[in-house]
Structure 1
Amino acid sequence: MTLDALKIPETPVCAAALEVAVAYCSPALLNHSVRAYIWAAAYGEAQGIAFDPELLYVGSMFHDIALMPEFDNHTAGFDVASGHVAWVFGAGAGWPVTRRRRLVEVVISHMLDSVDVAADPEGHLLERSTSMDISGRHMDDFSAPFKAEVLRRYPRLGIAEEFLACFRDQAVRKPDSSPAASLRDNIAERILANQLDRTG
């Protein structure tokens, strides 16, 4: 597979989701969000997993949006707060309530240890892709040339340090949040050891 062979869904909703991500995400977080979709969709296609490209793309654009100050929630963890932002976006896009709920499920599920592919294929794919991009899991999902191609197009721009700083900030202010739990589970070591930061 090549990056050019992977199709980004060309819908007005996807275009609007990217516009929001560009407006609010840092450059590193924006590239991470795009890579999250690429890894997820490429893996889904390679494994023959049927998924909704638009739902997966919008979920990828919004899964970390509440790490940004404009959407930070003073009590809820970023994953839950990102789900709220995504729900509001979906309402503005005219999505029915059932599709908005699915979007929230996909966004929140990316912080779970695993997601049942049969019950939630988009959540499964996003959990797997974000785990690879941030903490270096599932590194064997793709060939070295494909990973290098993706990173040339969408460089990491210091995402490991930026993401870890956000998680530490969230953990201090929200000790019951998923970032706090992840830090207790030594995610910091995995983030800083991610092989993608050594792929050239």
Structure 2
Amino acid sequence: MPQGSEVIAGIRIPDSQMARAATELVRDTETDLLYHHSRRVFLFGALTGERKKLKYDPELLYVGTMFHDMGLFDSHASETDRFEVDGANAARDFLKAYDVSERDVDDVWDSIALHTTPGIPQHKRPTVALVTAGVEMDVLGIAYHDFTEEQRHEVCTCHPRGLKFKHGILSAFCYGTIKKPDTTFGNVKADVLERMDPTYKRMNFGEMIMDSAWDS
């Protein structure tokens, strides 16, 4: 194991130049709450990969998890795209500076763009599946009991959730989507705005069909 490598719950944190640059960019951009969340997502995703005996690339998984909420911040947000797409685009631009294959870049892009679209990521390649697995564990507690108490304790000791993480993550999601509410259509952020923004009106797919320009 490389000298100076950080190991948490048996998982080595990637320490390449690319991984360090990703960490530095996230630290410079995101709040402490989302930085620690992103690191926990990596650890829970990697632990899921180990438990399921999946062959995954820790570097790609790390970049996917570290960038997965980058689109919530004004510095990386577009006016019209979903925040997940903004984060995926930021990761793709970041990876251009490194010797990463087009397929691997696409996997990282998909891992971020799809992480709030349930039912699809688990059928994709490991980078995509494990980013969502980590997010679902840290935010929703999905598969909580598939992790040992020791694993959960060590991950959260090194990267604390804090006393108000649930409220904090909802606020972060709201901040990143409230200016472009139409981007929540078809994904879980519609639930966030419905809870957090009293002026929000959820779009309805059935109504869109009936109100379309077609005669019948």
TM-score when normalising by structure 1:
0.83
1:161 equivalenced with 2:167 (yes/no): yes
Larger radius of gyration: 2
Aligned residues: 188
Q: For 2:62, give the aligned amino acid.
A: Y
Match of 1:52 in 2: 57
Q: For 1:121, give the aligned amino acid.
A: P
Match of 1:195 in 2: none
Q: CA deviation at 1:42?
A: 0.9
Q: CA deviation at 1:185?
A: 4.4
1:15-30 correspondence to structure 2 within 5 Å: 15-30=20-35
1:31 equivalenced with 2:16 (yes/no): no
Q: CA deviation at 1:4?
A: 4.7
SS in 1 for 2:48: helix
Flag structure 2 segments of 5+ consecutive residues without an equivalent: 1-6, 196-216
Q: For 2:63, give the aligned amino acid.
A: V
1:28-177 correspondence to structure 2 within 5 Å: 28-115=33-120, 117=122, 119-157=124-162, 158-177=164-183
Q: CA deviation at 1:93?
A: 2.5
Separation of aligned partners in 1, 2:185 and 2:67: 17
- Identical amino acids, percent of aligned pairs: 26
Could you report, residue by residue, the CA deviation over 1:150-192 in whole angstroms, capped at 9, with x for unpaired residues?
A: 1111101343222211322344322232488424447988xxx
More helix by share: 1
Q: CA deviation at 1:116?
A: 5.2
Q: For 1:146, give the aligned amino acid.
A: Q
Q: For 1:95, give the aligned amino acid.
A: V
Could you report, residue by residue, the CA deviation over 1:80-128 in whole angstroms, capped at 9, with x for unpaired residues?
A: 1001100110112243433322221111121121345463111111111
The Cα RMSD (Å) is 2.4
Separation of aligned partners in 1, 2:105 and 2:166: 30
**Which 10-residue stretch deviates more, 168-177 or 62-71?**
168-177
Q: For 2:153, give the aligned amino acid.
A: A
Separation of aligned partners in 2, 1:17 and 1:53: 13
Q: For 1:50, give the aligned amino acid.
A: K
1:187-198 correspondence to structure 2 within 5 Å: none
Distance change >3 Å, CA 166–CA 116, structure 1 → 2? closer
Distance change >3 Å, CA 102–CA 70, structure 1 → 2? same
SS in 2 for 1:177: helix
**Which 10-residue stretch deviates more, 77-86 or 173-182?**
173-182
Distance change >3 Å, CA 101–CA 33, structure 1 → 2? same
Separation of aligned partners in 2, 1:4 and 1:13: 22
TM-score when normalising by structure 2:
0.77
